[in-house]
Amino acid sequence: MPAGDGIIRVVDSNVGHCLNSRAAWRHLPYVPNQRRTDPDWVKLAVTRARASKTPAKFWLNRERAHDASIIAKVNTYLSSITTPRTSISAILKPVDAMRFSLERIRRGEHTISVTGNVLRDYLTDLFPILELGTSARMLSIVPLLNGGGLFETGAGGSAPKHVEQMLKEGHLRWDSLGEYCALVPSLEMIAQKKWKPKSSGT
């Protein structure tokens, strides 16, 4: 906790080199951070596209400086992990990617959207609400960078209902259907990673 306003620096005491620095304010917690690139998130998209035989599109705008730097990295990673058969090469502006996805949805076809976490949260709420009026039982599967997975339901659409019932009845609602919806794909992932036909006698 800084005692006053100023700059906090992380310095390598062996050589006196400043590793990181940022502004800090009195009595506000200081949390050091570091950004780095990681090709695994591109690999996750490629793996999912291959497994599901579904086209995947990156939602990135070349006209935005931040997106342009990401696009350069994406192209580098894709060239090292994809084959001509992998339908994942398209990088579209968010508006164009949305139009592409909606056209496929109208035909009953699936599309993988490769986005950042904030946009993912928005999209996983948007489409269930458009189709069903709620995302309370929407299954969200998030592959994690170190090989695990996050399986959740009702992450967004259930929150208003929780508050509504708490105010009305004095307790939180609980719907076990969400647990079962999330349990099945979690077991499928374990089976895919761990199951060995020889050990099961088949």
What is the domain partition of the chain in residue ranges? Answer: 36-115, 133-194
**pLDDT over 90 for what percent of the chain?**
8
Cβ count within 10 A of residue 158: 18
Compare 103 and 140 and report the one with higher pLDDT. 103
Position 50: which residue type? R
Q: What is the pLDDT of residue 200?
A: 43
Cβ count within 10 A of residue 52: 11
Q: What is the pLDDT of residues 79-97, one digit of tens each?
A: 877 555 555 658 899 999 9
Closest CA to 25 of 59, 54, 1: 1
Q: What is the pLDDT of residue 59?
A: 92
Give the residue-averaged pLDDT of 36-40: 70
What's the pLDDT band for 201 if we cut at 50, 70, 90?
very low
What pTM was computed for the model?
Answer: 0.62
Please check the confidence at residue 9 and state whether its pLDDT lies above 80.
yes
Measured CA to CA, the distance from residue 50 to residue 40 in angstroms comes to: 15
Q: What are the backbone dihedrals phi and psi of residue 5, each rounded to the nearest 5 degrees, phi first?
A: -70, 150
Using CA of residue 17, residue 19, residue 25, residue 28, what is the dihedral sign?
A: negative
Give the residue-averaged pLDDT of 40-47: 81
Compare 131 and 78 and report the one with higher pLDDT. 78
Please check the confidence at residue 99 and state whether its pLDDT lies above 90.
yes
Q: What is the pLDDT of residue 199?
A: 44
